[in-house]
Amino acid sequence: MRYSQTFIPTVKEVPADAEIPSHQLMIRAGLMRKLASGTYIYLPAGQRILRKVMEIVRQEMDRAGALECTVPVVQPAELWQRTGRDVDYGETLGKFKDRHGRMNVLSPTAEEGFTYLASQEIQSYKQLPVNLYQINTKYRDEFRPRFGVLRSREFMMKDAYSFHASEACLHRTYMAMYEAYKRVFARCGLTYVIVEAETGEMGGTGSHQFTIPCASGEDVIVYTAAEDRAWNIEKAPVDPVAKPPAAEAGPPEEVHTPNVGSIEAVCEFLKTRPEQMIKTLVYQSGEEVFAALVRGDHEVNPEKLNQFFVGRHIELADEATIRKVTGAAVGFAGPVGLAGHVDRILIDHAAAAMAVGVTGANKTDYHLKNVVPGRDFPLEGEAVQVCDIRNAAEGDTYGGKKLLFKRGIEVGQVFKLGTKYSTKLEARFLDEEGNRKPCLMGCYGIGINRIIASAIELNNDEWGILWPMSIAPWQVMITPAAPEAEIVAAAEEIYQQLLNQGVEVLLDDRDLRAGVKFKDADLLGIPIRITLGKKSFAEGKAEVKLRSEKDKEMIDLAATAEHVSKMVRQMLDQLNAV
RNA sequence: CGGGGUGUAGCUCAGUUUGGCCAGAGCGCCUGGUUUGGGACCAGGAAGUCGCAGGUUCGAAUCCUGUCACCCCGACCA
């Protein structure tokens, strides 16, 4: 490709609305432009990267026995009503009505589509297993799109869905996908951490996420100091904290705390600390109202709470409900005397282990001091349970091992779905004994755009991007650094030779000063640059430089193309050797 | 959805507090010339309904009302 004939609009200045390196550099290097909040146009160079990542994913999926399909992005809402996800997905699900008045859904993921297909086509265990995938646009009406392509409304995702007659078979495909994912991310030149994203319910290894550790990540990864296990914070278990020796505490004492509802404000007002408070959150799930108690400095983990309400949607109770069950304004709920007013009380281990604490008084503008768990409110009973319902925090342990934290970008997830979708959409098969059973399912996703952003987050410097060879928009860039005809001709010759050898090469044939070309080359981040300058040309040499290295190598002009194409192959082999 | 912020040239932003100079700068773009290995220099030039709609006023980028878009923060409220 000749630079003069492509379209790579680079910009010097950092765009005002881009915060993280990948977002800034994708704009600056002319890879993409914003169309609207959370939607981006991929320009030619960006599109090449997208295509390369998709091709790696496609190759690894095919190698692992998955079969490519394409399911429509616009799907009948009726299908989503049957699985209940039109409600469960909430506002994030994009919908529109067509001219016939039919509701349509913009696919944020495609369990329904693929399961529908299976329901139509799978009759017998003899047809199983089957693993189908697509690489297609997904749409999510995100609450808050941000960080460029990391959390966008429209994005490219590879999603696969497998169907099985047995748990063992599902596990085999699950592991095949797990291995395929390792290959995909390694080939893309990414260092990744695999975290456990789901335990309990499915037993054992129900779901793993592939995450790229980096500061811009939105997910929190929790891992043991020995790094022998890692979890998404949504699933990270914690040891119950030790109960301190019982403290001398008088009876609960009401204190007037006018307009002081928040933990912070109460601490300020009562000169206490968050870890001495018991936070009482009221949730609802349909008609059922329940309370969750955690220590003031801890955070409730909705995913953990969900384990107690499998398959149901839970949310924080609205103000009216809170008033009804606590008899007080929002901000003054507490566990003392709450038992009869809610259907259930879930108490985190750490809250239960407190010797004494401060809580809301279930009375507007009042809190209670000297509240002793177990004495002033029950820790056991029919509707009371002490359990793990909070996020792991600094200082926690699991299995006696210290827990550490870092941020990560989730780029892939493998998940054992079970029969949720196959039951609801009647994707069933007859087994050897003639019994009709719902298929066991797995689903496996990879965020294509996130791979690109992660690669940039991991590989950039003050000048621009440093692409791994496998996903670089071009493998080699040729920069004639002087306008003399013989230099241009030499560049042209090497360009043709490289093309003939199947190397993806970008020839900077623009009539510009060398400095400008160098700046653009560094911004774009093509891994190998061949520079032809007056001085080296006079000596019959070309300069070969890696984007990642400072030093250059002087190669005979006649040998340059051969030398460079060998380098390309070696760098690719290194990435593919997994 | 709540809170905060920003909308002025293709980009980054000044000007708005205190209404009145001709609506500006840097970068980019066009023309000519000089340059030519790390985002050159000189000269000339094009380019903005000041987000949009109302209103106040002799006069509005500036004040008021509404509206739209974009950005940031947000369970910690129990």
* CB distance A295 to A354 below 8 Å: yes
Two tokens, residue A434: 């003639």
- Tell me, yes or no, whether A363 and A426 share the same domain: no
Q: What pLDDT score was predicted for residue A202?
A: 45
Domain-embedded: residue A228: no
- Tell me, yes or no, whether A479 and A451 share the same domain: no
- Tell me, yes or no, whether A295 and A383 share the same domain: yes
Q: Who contacts A43 (Cβ-Cβ below 8 Å, separation ≥6)?
A: A7, A8, A9, A30, A31, A32, A33
- Tell me, yes or no, whether A29 and A132 share the same domain: yes
Report the CATH number at residue A485. 3.40.50.800
- Tell me, yes or no, whether A152 and A268 share the same domain: no
Q: What pLDDT score was predicted for residue A490?
A: 96
Q: A165 by DSSP, 3-state: which? A: coil
Cβ of residue A30 lies below 7 Å from strand B = no
> What is the spatial distance between Cα A491 and Cα A2, in angstroms, rounded to a whole number?
11
Tell the residue number behind the tokens 């390792």, with chain if given: A182
* CB distance A363 to A398 below 8 Å: no
Q: What pLDDT score was predicted for residue A110?
A: 95
Distance B24 C1' – A15 CA (angstroms): 21
| Mean pLDDT, residues A449-476 | 97
Instruction: Phi first, then psi: give them for residue A118, nearest 5 degrees.
Output: -60, -40
Domain-embedded: residue A394: no
The mean-pLDDT minimum among A10-19, A442-451, A557-566 falls in: A10-19
Residues 61-120 of A with CB under 7 A from strand B: none
> What is the spatial distance between Cα A327 and Cα A539, in angstroms, rounded to a whole number?
89
Neighbours of A459 (CB within 10 A): 21
Domain boundary among A345, A369, A387: A387
Q: Who contacts A467 (Cβ-Cβ below 8 Å, separation ≥6)?
A: A49, A455, A459, A473, A525, A526, A527, A547
3-state secondary structure A123-157: CEHHHCCEEEEEEEEEECCCCCCECCCCECCEEEE
Q: Which residue has the higher pLDDT, A200 or A402?
A: A402
- Tell me, yes or no, whether A42 and A134 share the same domain: yes
Cβ of residue A334 lies below 7 Å from strand B = yes
Nucleotide nearest to A521 (CA to C1'): B38
Report the CATH number at residue A35. 3.30.930.10
Peptide bond into A373 cis (omega under 30): no
> What is the spatial distance between Cα A77 and Cα A107, in angstroms, rounded to a whole number?
10
Please list the residues that pair with A254 across neighbouring strands: A368
Domain-embedded: residue A28: yes
- Tell me, yes or no, whether A355 and A441 share the same domain: no
Report pLDDT digits (tens) over A68-115.
Answer: 999 999 999 999 999 988 887 878 889 888 889 899 999 999 999 999
Instruction: Note the helical H segments in A335-435.
Output: 349-352, 420-424
Distance B62 C1' – A65 CA (angstroms): 66
Nucleotide nearest to A281 (CA to C1'): B78
Two tokens, residue A96: 């529109």
- Tell me, yes or no, whether A446 and A342 share the same domain: no
Q: What pLDDT score was predicted for residue A198?
A: 66
Q: Which nucleotides on strand B sit less than 7 A from a protein beta carbon?
A: 1, 11-13, 26-28, 35-40, 69-78
> What is the spatial distance between Cα A490 and Cα A481, in angstroms, rounded to a whole number?
12
Domain-embedded: residue A269: yes
Cβ of residue A357 lies below 7 Å from strand B = no
Distance B64 C1' – A16 CA (angstroms): 30
Cβ of residue A317 lies below 7 Å from strand B = yes
Query: Kind of pairing, strands A67-68 and A130-139?
Result: parallel
Report pLDDT digits (tens) over A340-349.
Answer: 889 999 999 9
Cβ of residue A262 lies below 7 Å from strand B = yes
The mean-pLDDT minimum among A247-261, A489-503, A564-578 falls in: A247-261
Max mean pLDDT range (A357-361, A388-392, A543-547): A543-547
Domain-embedded: residue A244: no
- Tell me, yes or no, whether A449 and A501 share the same domain: no
The pTM of the full predicted model, rounded to 2 decimals, is: 0.92
Domain-embedded: residue A333: yes
| Average pLDDT of every residue of chain A | 92
- Tell me, yes or no, whether A94 and A160 share the same domain: yes
Range of the domain at A553: 474-576
- Tell me, yes or no, whether A92 and A156 share the same domain: yes
Nucleotide nearest to A321 (CA to C1'): B78
* CB distance A210 to A181 below 8 Å: yes
> Residue A13 gets which letter from DSSP?
S
Cβ of residue A330 lies below 7 Å from strand B = yes
Q: What pLDDT score was predicted for residue A311?
A: 65
Q: What pLDDT score was predicted for residue A205?
A: 55
> Residue A399 gets which letter from DSSP?
T
Query: Kind of pairing, strands A130-139 and A154-164?
Result: antiparallel
Q: CA of A321: how far to CAs of A340, A359, A504, in Å?
A: 14, 19, 63
Residue A144 has pLDDT above 90, yes or no: no
Domain-embedded: residue A220: no
| Mean pLDDT, residues A521-539 | 96
Report the CATH number at residue A305. 3.90.960.10
Distance B2 C1' – A318 CA (angstroms): 14
When pLDDT is cut at 50, 70 and 90, the band that residue A201 belongs to is very low
Query: Residue A411's closest CA among A144, A205, A184, A187?
Result: A184
Q: What pLDDT score was predicted for residue A41?
A: 92
**Protein residue with the closest CA to the C1' atom of nucleotide B74:** A144
Distance B23 C1' – A17 CA (angstroms): 25
Cβ of residue A489 lies below 7 Å from strand B = no
Report pLDDT digits (tens) over A263-310.
Answer: 877 887 888 888 889 999 988 887 888 999 999 888 888 888 888 877
Q: Who contacts A396 (Cβ-Cβ below 8 Å, separation ≥6)?
A: A238, A239, A241, A403
Residue A51 has pLDDT above 90, yes or no: yes
- Tell me, yes or no, whether A268 and A373 share the same domain: yes
Query: Kind of pairing, strands A366-371 and A253-256?
Result: antiparallel
When pLDDT is cut at 50, 70 and 90, the band that residue A314 belongs to is confident
Domain-embedded: residue A211: no
Distance B23 C1' – A143 CA (angstroms): 38
Residue A312 has pLDDT above 80, yes or no: no
3-state secondary structure A79-120: HHHHHCHHHHCHHHCEEEECCCCCEEEECCCCHHHHHHHHHH
Q: How many domains is chain A partitioned into structurally?
A: 3
Rounded to two decimals, the ipTM of the complex is 0.92
**Protein residue with the closest CA to the C1' atom of nucleotide B10:** A11
CA dihedral of residues A88, A89, A93, A98 (deg, nearest 10): -20
Task: Look at phi and psi of residue A316 and say left if phi exceeds 0, alpha if psi is from -120 to 50, else beta.
Answer: beta
Q: What pLDDT score was predicted for residue A204?
A: 45
Residue A507 has pLDDT above 50, yes or no: yes
> What is the spatial distance between Cα A91 and Cα A141, in angstroms, rounded to a whole number?
7
